[in-house]
Structure 1
Amino acid sequence: MSKHVFFVTCPKGVEYLLADELADFGLALVRNAPAGAWVEGELEAGYRACLWSRLANRVILHVAEVPADSAEQLYDGVVALDWQAHIPAAGSFRVAFLGHNNAIRNTQFGAQKVKDGIVDSIRGAGGARPNVAPKGADVTVSARLNRGRLSLGIDLSGHSLHMRGYRTDKGIAPLKENLAAALLMRSGWPEIASNGGDFVDPMCGSGTLLIEAAMMALDLAPGRKKEQFGFEKWPGHQPELWLSLRQEAERRAHEGKQGRVPVFAGFDQDSRVIATAWKNIQRAGLEGVVHVEARPVQDFARAESWGERGLVLTNPPYGERLSERKELSGLYQSLGEAVLRELPGWRMGVFTGAPEFGKSIGLRSFKQYKLFNGKLPAQLLLFEVKPENAMVARDPEGTGEIQPRIVNAERADMLRNRLKKNLKTVGQWAKKQDIGCYRLYDADMPEYALAIDVYEGRVHVQEYQAPKSVDERAARERLAEALAVIPEVLEVEPAKMVCKQRQRQSGTSQYEKREASGEYFNVHEHGCVLKVNLRDYLDTGLFLDHRPVRQWIQKNAQGKRFLNLFCYTGAATVHAAVGGASRSLSLDMSRTYVNWAQDNLALNGADPKKHVVEQADCLAWLADRKTANQTFDLIFMDPPTFSNSARMRGILDIQKDHGTLIRQAMQRLSSDGLLVFSNNFRKFKLDEELLSEFEVREVSASTIDKDFQRNPRIHRCWHVRHLA
């Protein structure tokens, strides 16, 4: 049989694992590439990759490479090829085009030139004009432009191979299946399984890691349930060869269940996501093999059926705000404590976008792999769960009280001069705008990693976590200098300055007090009176970066019904009420914040019958059909990045859950209403499917005032409307 060249794509960071896997199928490595590998082998090996690869996205049969420094050169190269060997007679095709250069600046134009070349080539050879079908085409032509060269091939896979067919529910975005498989391989699961080990995921979400682990251990082909592949209408397809490979896969699936079947157990605090996991398990044909149930990680306990060795692998959520990170540290610590207590002798893998919280697990990691979850950088941390590997769990946010003291006078002068400069720029701007609460300094100098906020004559200082390259002692010295300089320059008494460090807090609730001073005072913002507390809580009661958003709401609320979800202390509702909203409903899970919001509304003379604040889990409220008849003209939703409070129905992870939240909120929005959606997760990526369901416009730039322009990604904001 003749040899072919294939380009096989995969998630970024998985390339070397993929090359090893493809070698097992009989494909020899030609060269590695970013997010893929070029390999060579017989067609049977290419088919085998489509059916058996646990890591690949696509398997592309290479046809040719042509010069493409200009559109004309690209066309000439395409039209000269024999496309009748690849496009079925009277059939249809589509072009998937990637890349650009100075001549071909967008993929649509590039795809059109390739289509023209293919059609003219076939017609020039006397063939019937093929149909171009954006969807449901018989054959997909892959065209990849890089450095003036266009690589052309036939996509043998069809839909991306990561889509195994067992995940169909929308709303939550778990790990892609092939990334889950890569994590399992990096964690050593194939060897652990072959040696009789079991598998547990304490935060399993919709069950992807569990299902991939079971398919791997039971020798189930990932493409076994895939209904159609991209090569089945390709003229070079060999049906008998393909049938023999499918029969082999069925035989191996039967044999895989004949030996010892490992335990596969998954748990999650969110009962909704467990219901989704059960559906995925059933679609994968793994009922009776994989078991999941709703249980928080704090209640994790081993079952009698679990063996003495195995793998714990999980993908915990991660947060951004100080209050959320406090919760997160407790979650990671609970995970480490539970696994060390219940599963000594096992291995544990934690895949996280916040690897600094590995310190909170309380075990020494013996291996770390850098990978990507989509476009988000992440790490896989591996641990051997043994008492001798235990260490004191540490919150990555810092510790200890700091006394004001100038250690280096020259360095302190640098900060003094910067603060004076900022008072002349940002301070004067705030004064002219009649803004009394603003950010004066935001880590302007790397030596002083602080956020300094002014609250009408009082000062709130937050210390950012120092990078690993900065010695802890040096960081403490610089903070001590800052605490000495700030009151001097701002002419405030030290007693009116509060400094919060990122340090360990007991418990897991973001609403617990740090102190109990009861030191509330009123501040003013665009004609509104708001109650704040600089000492007692992780946050002050007023998110300064959202000032322009609140002002916009105030200017646009006249006569409107206003809904404030995750309302915090109700500042946005106060602005809506002052702006003339006809009525409002504000929801938050915390009784502390509900009371605070009611106080804020009362300070501004709002009628409590028209402007109602209720304690409610917003996730449950949005999903409750009993509240579905309540509609609003203006909705503001600024959810936390992450929350697993015991008061909630489940875990909230804004990256995974925002699509569901927005869709549910839009069901409560009047036909001509507007949803203002905001969040402060720095790596946030909007679900692209929302763009086709609603009119979505990002307005982030217009919501950043002068005092936050050094940090323009402090939050992002969108206006969402129903399609006309």
Structure 2
Amino acid sequence: MNADTTREYLALCPRGIGSLLTHELAALGATGVRETPAGVFFAGSRATLYRACLWSRLANRILLPLADFEATDPDALYRGLREIAWPELFSAHSSFAVDFHGQTPAIRNTQFGAQRSKDAIVDTFRDRGQPRPDVNRRQADIRVSVQLFKGLARVALDLCGGSLHQRGYRVRAGDAPLKENLAAALLLRADWPGMAARGGALVDPMCGSATLLIEGALMAADHAPGLSRQRFAFEAWLAHDARQWEAVLGDARSRAARGLERELPEIRGYDADPAVVRYAQANIAAAGLQRHVRVSCKPLAELRRPSHRPMSQGLVICNPPYGERLGEKASLRHLYQRLGQVLHDEFDGWDAAVFTADLELGRAIGLRSHRQYALYNGALKSSLLLFALRDNRLRDAPLQREPQSAEATDNAPSQDRTALSEGAVMFANRLRKNRRHLANWVKRNGIECYRVYDADMPEYAVAVDIYADWVHIAEYAAPAGVDPEAARLRLEDVLQAVPDALAIAPSHIVLKQRQRQRGTAQYTRQDSSDRLLTVREGQASLLVNLQDYLDTGLFLDHRSLRRRLAEEARGRDFLNLFCYTGSATVHAALGGARSTTSVDMSNTYLDWLRKNLARNGLAENRHHLVRDDARAWLERGGQDADLILLDPPSFSNSKRLEDVFDLQRDHPALIRSTMRRLRPDGVMYFSNNKRRFQLDPAMAEEFCCEDVTAQTLDPDFRRGKKPHVCFRFSHRHGALS
């Protein structure tokens, strides 16, 4: 028993990482290492075996092959197992269990196969006059592996016991956690050990239960992944050399102690879900790494390169949600786009690794991947995408440009102005004048979307809005008595003038006829291009659709109000009633809202909001979407909030509502039910776009009420008629007592 005999062993691992395991085992001193469909075979002494069990970051199990034999029926299986000298492998006083996998036409049930195998092993002990060893399925001292495939039984001793991926530090887990050995494989493929040796940092922006961070820290600290295991099955193997094992174990403990005493690279993780962050912190503490791994609650939108010490290089690695696993694919595409934008903007010179089961989502990142590895997450075929972020151009990203000045517009190459009609020249001049008037404000505030013209000249009844490098023209219906042919000619003047005056390609101009709408008609689908354009507004990236609806998904006149909500949202619960596409929700969330709740009857617009949240890296676990009639939802109890936006339609007779809603008539009841949801020190903003709206005087008597319309209109909406009215409500002192 004391002779350190070289034996052949079989290491099992997840699909796709066999080549990595081959190199790992060779580095641990194994010989004859070869990868096969069954696993990675290797040879070595007991010390090599112990090092493999203790140090392998990639293996699931390490087996001692015992026999291969024909087992087409239960009797053949029994006879083959009786040929193995089980009493020479483990004591009758040790408990055991059989892990049986596979079937044949005669052995169709794994439980039956395990029972028949157990009988053969027990009878072997009885034949030698020894006691019957006990069976313990959950905590066996010895585990026997029987694999049945195409009538061939492969029998081995499992020298590890439980799977090696179970390191012992995961006390809590969120949804769909990575197995520890798969996480280690991702880090090795991304060359994290090399990066750590060069002093680079490790960042996981969607860290979940912190598996990638902990595995990365264990690598950097030279900490054996098996050190936290309570026991290994080889300790009950009769060929076990306890002295040799203590030597291997002692060396690993010394290396881990030295590794944890030195300063490790910066290792940080973030997640948008506070509960998941708490899980991660518990796991980090269980691994004894709380001095070295830090996690905090932060959405992807707020991710920045760590700046407290110089970090010219590092690795950003993450396992974002994909497919139907944790979210909807349409929304997740925007999350991946946001990830690409953050990597591009914040981590120039670093490396990145993204693990996904959906390559289409991976392409949405928009960065060039220089290498891809095919791996499996369980049975799910997945890919690890590697990115070198230095000079990696972001595809399909919003252009990082300064807003054009009026001078740049006037001097831009354009068509021959003498070719314009007299009306087009007049309209173009007005556009240039308006844009010049707004130029300093646009540049100073980084405004990308704004109104440059709104029926300033009665004969040209259109609204002209700029959305980055697109122009959206909405024609108002001509009043009765206006010659349709004259209206048509004036619209041609507009279309002729805009490219020249605003230096916009005709292909980037969208025209829609707009009439005064009632109820939900303004939301009715006009086209089906489904083309979403990303625009910037303050901190937010917002999705607009210029083609398919009369409105674009972003009410530009509420820009200042959204800015105000963002400034007042920090630490508050925000409620957005009649939320539309949720641009105000995004601003409140980015402003630091503790939570947001958005209520709307339209699935279309709630899905749009989901995309807006994802585009800004905001997880839905703190941002709740409710499909309901806001009035009915409030009457049923709703949800209390510190900050509320109430922006109802002027009129609605939707088939989904039991009655007709008229804002002028019904707003007092709506305001009262909303104010019942406002906490004592909270603020509610009530806005609407009904012309000639008059607030019921009783509202100012019941509540503190201030008309803030003028304060919520930016310069591009201060011309002509006010596009909306807005009131700030709060409770009178003692009103709720």
Alignment TM-score, normalising by the size of structure 2: 0.57
Judged with a 3 Å threshold, the aligned counterparts in structure 2 of structure 1 residues 214 and 570 are, in CA distance, closer, same or farther, namely same
Judged with a 3 Å threshold, the aligned counterparts in structure 2 of structure 1 residues 126 and 380 are, in CA distance, closer, same or farther, namely same
Match of 2:218 among 207, 215, 219: 215
Aligned residue number for residue 313 of structure 2:
309
Aligned residue number for residue 255 of structure 1:
258
- Asked whether the 8 Å contact 2:200–2:313 carries over to 1, the reply is yes
1:516 Cα deviation from its structure 2 partner: 4.9
1:5 Cα deviation from its structure 2 partner: 2.0
- Asked whether the 8 Å contact 1:568–1:588 carries over to 2, the reply is no
1:143 Cα deviation from its structure 2 partner: 0.8
- Asked whether the 8 Å contact 1:533–1:540 carries over to 2, the reply is no
Match of 2:197 among 194, 198, 215: 194
Counterparts of 2:266 and 2:213, CA distance in 1: 10
Match of 1:163 among 149, 162, 166: 166
Instruction: Map Cα deviations across residues 162-209 of structure 1 (whole Å, 9 max, x no partner).
Output: 111111125533111111100000001111112222211122112111
The amino acid across from 2:317 in the alignment is L
Match of 2:298 among 289, 292, 295: 295
Counterparts of 2:150 and 2:648, CA distance in 1: 58
Aligned residue number for residue 441 of structure 2:
none
Aligned residue number for residue 98 of structure 2:
95
Counterparts of 2:288 and 2:153, CA distance in 1: 42
Instruction: Map Cα deviations across residues 209-257 of structure 1 (whole Å, 9 max, x no partner).
Output: 1111110011000011111111222222211111111100011112324
Aligned residue number for residue 150 of structure 1:
153
Match of 1:378 among 369, 382, 407: 382
Counterparts of 1:154 and 1:321, CA distance in 2: 36
Instruction: Map Cα deviations across residues 512-562 of structure 1 (whole Å, 9 max, x no partner).
Output: 87755489xxxxxxxxxxx98798775899xxxxxxxxxxxxxxxxxxxxx
Counterparts of 1:240 and 1:265, CA distance in 2: 39
* Partner-residue secondary structure (3-state), 1:255: helix
Instruction: Map Cα deviations across residues 320-368 of structure 1 (whole Å, 9 max, x no partner).
Output: 5999444323322332232333322111111112222333323211001
Instruction: Map Cα deviations across residues 44-63 of structure 1 (whole Å, 9 max, x no partner).
Output: 21111110000111111112
Q: In the alignment, does 2:528 pair up with 1:499?
A: yes
The amino acid across from 2:218 in the alignment is M
Match of 1:128 among 123, 127, 131: 131
Judged with a 3 Å threshold, the aligned counterparts in structure 2 of structure 1 residues 91 and 567 are, in CA distance, closer, same or farther, namely same
Aligned residue number for residue 109 of structure 1:
112
The amino acid across from 2:627 in the alignment is T
Counterparts of 2:653 and 2:248, CA distance in 1: 67
Counterparts of 1:159 and 1:97, CA distance in 2: 14
Aligned residue number for residue 333 of structure 1:
337
Instruction: Map Cα deviations across residues 53-78 of structure 1 (whole Å, 9 max, x no partner).
Output: 00111111112222112211111110
Aligned residue number for residue 20 of structure 1:
23
Match of 2:627 among 544, 569, 576: 569
The amino acid across from 1:569 in the alignment is R
Counterparts of 1:294 and 1:82, CA distance in 2: 56
* Partner-residue secondary structure (3-state), 2:215: helix
- Asked whether the 8 Å contact 1:594–1:614 carries over to 2, the reply is no
Q: In the alignment, does 2:380 pair up with 1:351?
A: no
1:299 Cα deviation from its structure 2 partner: 1.4
Identity of aligned residues (%): 39
- Asked whether the 8 Å contact 1:202–1:267 carries over to 2, the reply is yes
Judged with a 3 Å threshold, the aligned counterparts in structure 2 of structure 1 residues 307 and 69 are, in CA distance, closer, same or farther, namely same
- Asked whether the 8 Å contact 1:588–1:594 carries over to 2, the reply is no
Counterparts of 1:246 and 1:536, CA distance in 2: 59
Match of 1:86 among 86, 89, 92: 89
1:111 Cα deviation from its structure 2 partner: 0.7
Counterparts of 2:170 and 2:293, CA distance in 1: 15
1:120 Cα deviation from its structure 2 partner: 1.1
Aligned residue number for residue 391 of structure 2:
387
- Asked whether the 8 Å contact 2:62–2:159 carries over to 1, the reply is yes
* Partner-residue secondary structure (3-state), 2:270: strand
Judged with a 3 Å threshold, the aligned counterparts in structure 2 of structure 1 residues 77 and 594 are, in CA distance, closer, same or farther, namely farther
Counterparts of 2:140 and 2:603, CA distance in 1: 62
The amino acid across from 1:108 in the alignment is Q
1:150 Cα deviation from its structure 2 partner: 1.1
Judged with a 3 Å threshold, the aligned counterparts in structure 2 of structure 1 residues 56 and 597 are, in CA distance, closer, same or farther, namely farther
Judged with a 3 Å threshold, the aligned counterparts in structure 2 of structure 1 residues 593 and 368 are, in CA distance, closer, same or farther, namely farther
- Asked whether the 8 Å contact 2:99–2:144 carries over to 1, the reply is yes
- Asked whether the 8 Å contact 2:337–2:365 carries over to 1, the reply is yes
Judged with a 3 Å threshold, the aligned counterparts in structure 2 of structure 1 residues 588 and 80 are, in CA distance, closer, same or farther, namely farther
Aligned residue number for residue 435 of structure 2:
none
Counterparts of 2:525 and 2:187, CA distance in 1: 53
1:259 Cα deviation from its structure 2 partner: 4.8
Instruction: Map Cα deviations across residues 110-159 of structure 1 (whole Å, 9 max, x no partner).
Output: 11111111111111122211112222222111111122211111111112
The amino acid across from 1:307 in the alignment is M
The amino acid across from 1:98 in the alignment is H
Alignment TM-score, normalising by the size of structure 1: 0.58
* Partner-residue secondary structure (3-state), 1:98: strand
Aligned residue number for residue 36 of structure 1:
39
The amino acid across from 1:314 in the alignment is C
CA RMSD of aligned residues (A): 4.2
Aligned residue number for residue 75 of structure 1:
78
| Most deviating of 210-219 and 84-93 | 84-93
Counterparts of 2:608 and 2:324, CA distance in 1: 13
Counterparts of 1:535 and 1:273, CA distance in 2: 30
| Most deviating of 290-299 and 352-361 | 352-361
Counterparts of 2:143 and 2:161, CA distance in 1: 7
Judged with a 3 Å threshold, the aligned counterparts in structure 2 of structure 1 residues 536 and 165 are, in CA distance, closer, same or farther, namely closer
* Partner-residue secondary structure (3-state), 2:72: coil
Q: In the alignment, does 2:370 pair up with 1:366?
A: yes
Judged with a 3 Å threshold, the aligned counterparts in structure 2 of structure 1 residues 152 and 364 are, in CA distance, closer, same or farther, namely same
Aligned residue number for residue 280 of structure 1:
283
Judged with a 3 Å threshold, the aligned counterparts in structure 2 of structure 1 residues 603 and 36 are, in CA distance, closer, same or farther, namely farther
| Most deviating of 23-32 and 144-153 | 23-32
* Partner-residue secondary structure (3-state), 2:246: helix
Which one has a bigger Cα radius of gyration?
2
1:40 Cα deviation from its structure 2 partner: 2.1
The amino acid across from 1:24 in the alignment is A
Q: How does 1:532-543 map to 2 (within 5 A)?
A: none
Structure 1: gaps (5+ residues)? 395-494, 520-530, 542-564, 578-582, 617-724
The amino acid across from 1:380 in the alignment is L
- Asked whether the 8 Å contact 1:197–1:311 carries over to 2, the reply is yes
The amino acid across from 1:193 in the alignment is A
Counterparts of 1:13 and 1:277, CA distance in 2: 27
Judged with a 3 Å threshold, the aligned counterparts in structure 2 of structure 1 residues 168 and 349 are, in CA distance, closer, same or farther, namely same
* Partner-residue secondary structure (3-state), 2:348: coil
Q: How does 1:174-185 map to 2 (within 5 A)?
A: 174-185=177-188
Q: How does 1:299-698 map to 2 (within 5 A)?
A: 299-302=302-305, 303-320=307-324, 324-393=328-397, 499-501=528-530, 503-504=532-533, 516-517=549-550, 569=627, 602-603=657-658
Number of equivalent positions: 471
- Asked whether the 8 Å contact 1:139–1:233 carries over to 2, the reply is yes
Match of 2:67 among 55, 64, 84: 64
